[in-house]
């Protein structure tokens, strides 16, 4: 037993010495079997381009030469006296040594191995902190015993052998370092293939790579879906009621743009939809959830009422669009806008509506809804008013309310002179202005009465309203008066007189329900002023104005042609009276042109006294210089008699 163990150790020592001493394998077939040769080849194996040196060990040999790439069969001729050889291609090569010693020929053949050093082919894909290496199983990979993947994070390397799976994944805790793949030969070969430092291809999936692009509900209980998946990656479509669980519709294996129809749904309730797929590293990708739209329609008095659900996902919302018969009729930007009245709907016609929710990635269509516009007969107009708003312009106003009112209508305005029942239409076709301006009137001469009716879109017409009449203000030398027919449907609460004096301003005097007011011209200090009447409605929120009456006064001077200062208290003084006089200066002259009296006050009269004595009877002359209320200058002179 001891002898066997020593023998085993000796054999092991010999084996190790053989490799340490660089002994190449010996070939003994064919011409290589002659024997007698002896040479060293160093090294006898390597990778890539390999240069070996040759050393003859036969003492006394003659004509020693080598064939460095012997085919093992041919007669060895053309031996070369070389000391080295370079091999640039991988393979197993036979080196034949030939020569003679003491007239006897000899040969010896040894093999060397040149191994592949090419970089192997592989790809690296990164998904977050997950790395996926895919081995390319081509001819280069098959040249190696196995391939080694160094993940660069200190964890054990991965190893691939022909026939094994080609995909390797590795999880990192932080930044992904360099990942290196190289070919490894059998254990006895000390060299390896060149390192392939892999460049990562990021597989971060953009948000819109997997998305639902269009949803359309149908009245027969279907959802037609268009979506984008990842090319060549399976996509699963999931749906469910808004507050329910998700159900799988189907899995699509082709990826890319696809379509699917979800059946047996209720178009009157909301649904949610999402997509599920895998990324390049085997992780799960879930699309944004999207929602369906549900539209409700009701025929109302003023039009078709349209109501819809608030879109369930606010994040990417951009707006709604309302379609009528396939055409957009209104847009909404706020997610909270969930109803609208189509006032342009024509009575008796049937319309088809859809609501569409828009996000940055999606269009979601409701199922279409149809509704027929209907209406009852319009009610009589009970709120109307009329007012003079400018010279020869009358503006009327009405409030439309009650049953039968539709979004579109034709307001009919008719007019007659006050006291006449001969009303004539003055509004145009399809008039929708509740304030109507009549410019075909003479507001300073006549009062006009108006009545109103309207046709809705069905068309049904209301009866005519009670007439309302404009206020006509007229003047006389002593007073102003105005018509008292009501300009309001609700009646008159009171009148006010507006007086506007030049350079002073406006005063507003309430006068109750009377329709005339006297004028006190002698109390007027200005020569230009105007009057206007304003009526107040019983509701207190409406005013109606009359036409404006203007007064312009020139100054008036009253001068007596005689006076009698005889103490009988009749015409005792020479007194001058005036209206609209601003400044006054007067001188009185005797027959010789001498000034006998002067005053700057129109209220200061002459008593017939000159320097304390009674002036003689006879003829005298006055001269007055005056400015009126507008500061315009005038002068007036004349003769008068002093009678005693």
* Closest residue by Cα to residue 535 from 496, 509, 564: 496
* Residue, of 258 and 532, whose pLDDT is higher: 532
Phi/psi at 142 (5° precision):
-75, -10
Tens of pLDDT, residue by residue over 265-321, are 999 999 999 998 876 666 678 888 999 999 999 988 778 999 999 999 998 899 999
CB atoms closer than 10 angstroms to residue 101: 16
Name 579's bridge partners. Answer: 556
Q: What band does 553 get if pLDDT is binned at 50, 70 and 90?
A: low
Angstrom distances, CA of residue 485 to CA of 290, 468, 489, 545, 546: 66, 8, 11, 13, 12
pLDDT for residue 5 is more than 60: no
Which letter does DSSP use for residue 207 in this model? Answer: T
The confidence score (pLDDT) of residue 253 equals 59
How high is the mean pLDDT of the chain? 88
What is the C-alpha to C-alpha distance for residues 419 and 374, in angstroms, rounded to an integer?
40
Q: What band does 7 get if pLDDT is binned at 50, 70 and 90?
A: very low
CB atoms closer than 10 angstroms to residue 378: 25
- Whether this prediction's pTM lies above 0.85 is answered by no
Q: Which residue has the tokens 């001188």?
A: 587
Token duo for residue 105: 């020929």
The confidence score (pLDDT) of residue 602 equals 92
Q: What is the dihedral of CA 405, 409, 413, 414, to 10 degrees?
A: -90
Token duo for residue 212: 């639902």
Q: Which residues of 518-555 are buried (b: 16+ CB within 10 A; e: fewer)?
A: ebeeeebebbbbebbbbbbbeeeebebbbbbbebebeb
* Residue, of 21 and 491, whose pLDDT is higher: 491
The confidence score (pLDDT) of residue 205 equals 52
Tens of pLDDT, residue by residue over 359-391, are 998 999 999 999 988 777 889 999 999 999 999
The confidence score (pLDDT) of residue 16 equals 29
* Residue, of 149 and 348, whose pLDDT is higher: 149
The confidence score (pLDDT) of residue 563 equals 94
What is the C-alpha to C-alpha distance for residues 405 and 378, in angstroms, rounded to an integer?
6
Q: In a 3-state reduction of DSSP, which class is residue 71?
A: coil
Q: Which residues of 163-182 are buried (b: 16+ CB within 10 A; e: fewer)?
A: eeeeebebebeeebeebbbb
Name the strand (E) or helix (H) holding 247: strand 247-252
pLDDT for residue 17 is more than 70: no
The confidence score (pLDDT) of residue 204 equals 55
Q: Which stretch of 84-98, 274-288, 434-448 has the lowest confidence by average pLDDT?
A: 274-288
pLDDT for residue 149 is more than 60: yes
The confidence score (pLDDT) of residue 190 equals 85
The confidence score (pLDDT) of residue 357 equals 97
Q: What is the mean pLDDT of residues 481-486?
A: 96
435-439 long-range CB contacts below 8 Å, 24 or more apart? 435/395, 435/396, 435/397, 436/395, 436/396, 436/397, 436/411, 437/389, 437/393, 437/394, 437/395, 438/393, 438/394, 438/395, 438/396, 438/413, 439/392, 439/393
The confidence score (pLDDT) of residue 527 equals 56
Q: What is the mean pLDDT of residues 70-98?
A: 93
The confidence score (pLDDT) of residue 232 equals 65
The confidence score (pLDDT) of residue 521 equals 59
Spacing of C-alpha 114 from chain mean position: 70
**What whole-number percentage of the chain has pLDDT above 90?**
66
Domains in the chain, ordered, with CATH? 22-115 (2.60.40.10), 122-202 (2.60.40), 211-291 (2.60.40.10), 295-372 (2.60.40.10), 379-553 (2.60.40.10), 556-642 (2.60.40.1220)
**What whole-number percentage of the chain has pLDDT above 70?**
91
263-269 long-range CB contacts below 8 Å, 24 or more apart? 263/221, 263/222, 264/221, 265/217, 265/221, 265/222, 265/223, 266/221, 267/217, 267/218, 267/219, 267/221, 267/294, 267/366, 267/367, 268/294, 269/241, 269/242, 269/294
Are the C-beta atoms of residues 531 and 480 closer than 8 Å to each other? yes
Are the C-beta atoms of residues 162 and 141 closer than 8 Å to each other? yes
The confidence score (pLDDT) of residue 539 equals 85
Q: What is the DSSP string of 458-492?
A: S--BPPPPPPEEPPPEEE-SSEEEE--S-SBTT-E
């Amino acid at each position: 037993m001891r002898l066997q163990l020593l023998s085993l150790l000796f054999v092991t020592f010999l084996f190790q010495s053989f490799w340490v001493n660089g002994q190449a394998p010996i070939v003994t077939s064919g011409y290589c079997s002659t024997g007698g040769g002896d040479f060293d080849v160093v090294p006898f194996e390597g990778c890539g381009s390999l240069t070996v040196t040759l050393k003859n060990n036969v003492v006394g040999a003659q004509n020693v030469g080598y064939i460095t790439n012997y085919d093992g069969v041919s007669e060895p001729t053309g031996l070369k006296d070389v000391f080295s050889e370079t091999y640039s291609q991988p393979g197993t090569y036979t080196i034949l040594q030939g020569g003679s010693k003491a007239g006897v020929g000899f040969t010896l053949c040894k093999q060397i191995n040149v191994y592949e050093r090419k970089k192997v082919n592989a790809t690296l894909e990164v998904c977050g902190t997950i790395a996926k290496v895919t081995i390319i199983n081509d001819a280069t990979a098959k040249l190696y015993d196995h391939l080694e993947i160094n993940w660069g994070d200190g964890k054990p390397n991965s190893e691939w052998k022909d026939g094994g799976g080609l995909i390797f994944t590795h999880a990192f805790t932080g930044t992904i370092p360099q990942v290196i793949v190289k070919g490894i030969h059998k254990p006895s070969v000390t060299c390896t293939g060149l390192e392939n430092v892999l460049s990562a291809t990021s597989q971060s999936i953009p948000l819109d790579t997997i998305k639902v692009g269009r949803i359309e509900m149908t009245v027969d209980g279907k959802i037609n879906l268009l979506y984008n998946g990842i090319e060549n990656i399976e996509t699963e479509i999931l749906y469910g009621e808004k507050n329910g669980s998700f159900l799988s519709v189907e899995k699509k294996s082709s990826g890319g743009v696809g379509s699917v129809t979800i059946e047996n749904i209720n178009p009157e309730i909301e649904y949610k939809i999402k997509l599920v797929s895998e990324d390049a590293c085997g992780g799960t990708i879930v699309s944004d959830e999207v929602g369906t739209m549900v539209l409700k329609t009701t025929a109302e008095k003023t039009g078709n009422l349209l109501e819809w659900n608030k879109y369930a996902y606010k994040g990417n919302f951009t707006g709604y669009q309302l379609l009528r018969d396939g055409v957009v009729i209104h847009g909404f930007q706020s997610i909270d806008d969930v109803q609208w009245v189509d006032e342009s709907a024509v009575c008796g016609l049937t319309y088809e509506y859809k609501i569409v929710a828009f996000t940055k990635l999606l269009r979601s269509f409701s199922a279409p809804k149809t509704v027929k516009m209907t209406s009852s007969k319009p009610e009589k107009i009970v709120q109307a008013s009329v007012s003079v708003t400018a010279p020869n312009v009358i503006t009327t106003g009405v409030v439309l309310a009650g049953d039968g009112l539709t979004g579109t209508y034709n307001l009919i305005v008719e007019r007659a002179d006050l006291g006449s029942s001969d009303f004539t239409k003055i509004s145009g076709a399809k008039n929708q202005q509740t304030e109507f301006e009549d410019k075909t009137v003479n507001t300073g001469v006549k009062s006009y009465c108006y009545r109103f009716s309207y046709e809705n879109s069905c068309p049904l017409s209301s009866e005519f309203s009670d007439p309302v009449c404009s206020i006509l203000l007229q003047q006389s030398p002593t007073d102003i008066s105005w018509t008292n027919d009501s300009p309001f449907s609700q009646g008159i609460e009171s009148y006010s007189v507006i007086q506007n004096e030049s350079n002073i301003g406006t005063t507003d005097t309430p006068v109750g329900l009377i329709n005339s007011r006297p004028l006190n011209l002698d109390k007027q200090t200005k020569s230009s002023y105007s009057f206007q009447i304003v009526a107040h409605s019983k509701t207190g929120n409406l005013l109606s104005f009359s036409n404006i009456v203007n007064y312009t006064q020139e100054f008036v001077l009253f001068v007596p042609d005689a006076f009698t200062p005889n103490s009988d208290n009749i015409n005792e003084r020479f007194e001058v009276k005036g209206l609209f006089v601003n400044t006054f200066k007067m001188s009185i002259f005797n027959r010789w042109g001498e000034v006998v009296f002067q005053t700057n006050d129109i209220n200061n009269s002459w008593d017939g006294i000159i320097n304390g004595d009674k002036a003689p009877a006879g003829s005298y002359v006055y001269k007055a210089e005056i400015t009126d209320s507008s500061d315009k200058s005038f002068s007036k002179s004349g003769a008068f008699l002093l009678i005693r």
